[in-house]
Structure 1
Amino acid sequence: METPVSAAHPRITIDLNICHGQPTVRGLRYPVQNVLEYLASGMTEAEILADYEDLEAEDLRACQAYAA
């Protein structure tokens, strides 16, 4: 069962059965680490959202906030 990492980061969840327990976005198979790598590589929010239709703009911001 997916569990939010904290009340401060409700979009970031951990489920031992998804991505080996890595923090993911809303229980989807998008590890936070991958989203951060996309952003760090220079992809824009629009490009990421176009490539990964399950993601929302708020998910990208949640990943950045979680990393901070």
Structure 2
Amino acid sequence: MHLLNKITRDPQVCHGKPCIRGMRWPVEVIIDMLGAGMSIEQILEDHPELEREDILASLQYAKLSLSGHNIEEVA
């Protein structure tokens, strides 16, 4: 579950939404780019501040959220 350590929540960043490493990159934006058909490689090329593991962490977070798990207990 080390990937989930890349997901942070801070009330001062993006209104407390789950974000990548405290940056202003909400998980939902990463998922939206993937859903729009962008590949991981395209995202990384367009946004070099992101890492491959950030995108994988976003997918893992989304999966756990949808499965009904308490993210805080899993992370």
TM range (shorter): 0.7 to 0.9
More helix per residue: 2
Q: CA deviation at 1:29?
A: 0.5
Taking only aligned residues, the RMSD between alpha carbons, in angstroms, comes to 1.6
Highest relative contact order (Cα 8 Å, sep 6+), 1 or 2? 2
Structure 1 residues 10-43: Cα deviation after superposition (integer angstroms, max 9, x where no partner): 0000010000100000001100000000001100
**Runs of at least 4 residues of structure 1 off by over 2 A?**
none
Gaps of 5+ in 1: 1-5
Gaps of 5+ in 2: 64-75
More strand per residue: 1
How many equivalent pairs are there?
63
Q: Which has the larger radius of gyration?
A: 2
The percent identity for this pair of structures is: 40
